[in-house]
């Protein structure tokens, strides 16, 4: 089935949506993106995703040629045009076409692209039985090299770690920062439960501040749990009662082994299941 894509100022069939081979998004990964999700016809935390897109763009001196309201409208229009009530949206802004050479000031026409499709979640089995993950040797980029808070079109750092995970038979991999502290997974944030409290690495561990992460922190507080940002090392993970990951695509997914070690009982824990249930209620509220 041919999809309808929004590009710059209008909706068009996917075959017509084309970018130049001189676009620096393609040549250098120079651009930013967001992944969003709609539930029963409503985009979850649309404003937060748009704000994060603008922050990523600001950080790389990329001026988005549309207003925030116009981009939000484009997201809704694209979902509607593809008749997707429960869908996944990829919002991409490229630097635009320029000459061969890094200089971003010599490019023109940043491209604003909105793609909507159905979402392929991890297989159901992983939600019921939990994921196995491994620690990648590839470290998360240091902020001084490239801030992990920029959701840029250059995901090679995460892709290198993802390859290590896949090589080990795992669909996700844990990434540490340059200090050896737990940062996040390749496309998901990480949480542990210890003594009933919820712990997740702070923003300055070098992570993308996930929108699902923030929603789960709010849900935990609403449920009367202690939820804190704390520096974690692998020892904390190995000795945790429970572990789970959060992300727009994954939602809340239990982790039952890390580097071959069972976490807690080796089955999805009660707090993970409670937060997963609360998250499902929230997104449909």
Q: Which residues are catalytic?
A: 151
Rg of the chain over Cα atoms, rounded to whole angstroms, equals 19
Length of the chain: 285
Q: Which stretch binds ligand PXG (CB under 6 A): 68-76, 79-87, 105-113, 240-248?
A: 240-248
Residue by residue, DSSP assigns 222-270 as: HTT--EEE----HHHHHT-SEEEEEETTTEEEEEEEETTEEPTTSS--H
Give CA–CA dist 270/275, Å, rounded: 9
Residue 82 interacts with ligand PXG (CB under 6 A): yes or no: no
Nearer to ligand PXG, 211 or 256 (CB): 211
Residue 251 interacts with ligand PXG (CB under 6 A): yes or no: no
Residue selected from 25, 98, 247, 254 as contacting ligand PXG according to rule CB under 6 A = 247
Structure tokens at 52: 């994060």
Enumerate residues 178-207 that contact ligand PXG by CB under 6 A: 184, 187-189
User: Quick one: CA dihedral 205, 210, 185, 273, positive or negative?
Assistant: positive
201 and 232 Cβ atoms separated by less than 8 Å: yes
DSSP letter at 104? Answer: G
Residue 29 interacts with ligand PXG (CB under 6 A): yes or no: no
Residue 211 interacts with ligand PXG (CB under 6 A): yes or no: yes
Q: Which stretch binds ligand PXG (CB under 6 A): 15-23, 72-80, 110-118, 243-251?
A: 243-251
Shortest Å distance, C-beta 34 to ligand PXG: 8
Residue 38 interacts with ligand PXG (CB under 6 A): yes or no: no
Residue 249 interacts with ligand PXG (CB under 6 A): yes or no: yes
Nearer to ligand PXG, 56 or 107 (CB): 56
Give CA–CA dist 266/245, Å, rounded: 15
Contact residues: ligand PXG, CB under 6 A = 35, 158, 184, 187-189, 208, 210-213, 246-249
């Amino acid at each position: 089935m041919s999809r309808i894509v929004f590009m710059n100022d209008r909706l068009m069939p996917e075959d017509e949506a084309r970018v130049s081979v001189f676009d620096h998004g393609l040549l250098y990964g120079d651009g930013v993106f967001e992944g969003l999700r709609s539930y029963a016809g409503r985009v979850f935390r649309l404003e937060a995703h748009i704000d994060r897109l603008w922050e990523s763009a600001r950080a790389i001196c990329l001026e988005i040629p549309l207003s925030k309201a116009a981009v939000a409208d484009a997201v809704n229009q694209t979902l509607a045009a593809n008749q997707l009530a429960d869908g996944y949206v990829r919002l991409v802004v490229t630097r635009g076409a320029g000459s061969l050479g890094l200089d971003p000031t010599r490019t023109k026409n940043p491209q604003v692209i909105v793609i909507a499709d159905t979402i392929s979640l991890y297989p159901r089995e992983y939600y019921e039985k939990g994921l196995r993950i491994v620690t990648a040797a590839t470290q998360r980029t240091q902020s001084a090299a490239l801030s992990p808070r920029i959701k840029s079109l250059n995901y090679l750092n995460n892709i290198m770690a993802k390859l290590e995970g896949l090589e080990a038979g795992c669909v996700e991999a844990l990434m540490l920062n340059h200090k050896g502290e737990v940062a996040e997974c390749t496309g998901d944030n990480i949480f542990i439960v210890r003594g009933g409290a919820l712990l997740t690495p702070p923003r300055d561990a070098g992570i993308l501040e996930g929108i699902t992460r923030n929603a789960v922190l709010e849900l935990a507080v609403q449920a009367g749990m202690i939820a804190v940002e704390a520096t974690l090392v692998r020892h904390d993970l190995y000795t945790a009662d429970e572990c789970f990951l959060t992300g727009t695509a994954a939602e809340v997914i239990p982790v039952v082994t890390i580097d071959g070690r069972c976490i807690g009982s080796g089955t999805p824990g009660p707090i993970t299941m409670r937060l997963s249930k609360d998250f499902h209620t929230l997104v449909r509220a």
